Amino acid sequence: MLRLEDLVQIGEAAKIKGVSIETLRRWEKAGKLKPVDRTEGNHRRYRVADLLKIDKPNLRFTVTYSRVSTPQRKDNLTTQTAVLRAYCENQRWDNIYSLCDIGSGLNYKKKGLLKLIDMLQRNEVERLVITDKERLLRFGSELIFALCEGNNTEIMILNKAMDVEPEQEISEDILTIITVFSARLYGRQSRRNLKAMQALHEAQEKILDEILTQETQQS
């Protein structure tokens, strides 16, 4: 069964639309319906949701968003997405569109998050479903909620941590902040900045030791 976020080849796209492949090519030239991607062999890929939108320009989606901080937690990401989709299907909501990211909660440029913002700006989101607000961003989720409010987008927060270790993820976010500030201070070789860098690196080492201790205790 195809999902709204799935990508399909031009032949499958033509079947979904009930038109010929040549018609899709004409639509592309006219700017009516463009593929979202092309393979290395230059084969078109269409998103199922876009194929449906052309007939229903006012179609709005139930969007689920899930995130984990590192690739090592990819299994948790799969679980998050499955739980969110199951919840939406249990509520009998149609047009479910799943977005997900692997990256820090401090990163505002994640692909899935940017897609969500784009869909909100286009008023394509009927409701947003997440496990908890920090899945969106560590700081700044209120900005996303403000976009939702401005577009009459319902927000559903399940408040389930999905086996994520919050202390460990916060520690990783702190390390990200330390790395950024260290890089900025590195170019300023004053005595004061060198002392600040040393303090940051000492704090970083302490946090790393705490993370390793936690992982050892859990294993």
Residues tagged active-site: 69
Distance CA 63, CA 98 (A): 6
Angle (nearest 5°) at CA 147 between 141 and 153: 105
Distance CA 53, CA 150 (A): 22
- CA-nearest of 149, 142, 157, 140 to 120 is 149
Q: Which helix (H) or strand (E) holds 29?
A: helix 21-30
Residues 6+ apart with CB under 8 A from 39: 45
- CA-nearest of 191, 16, 152, 163 to 75 is 163
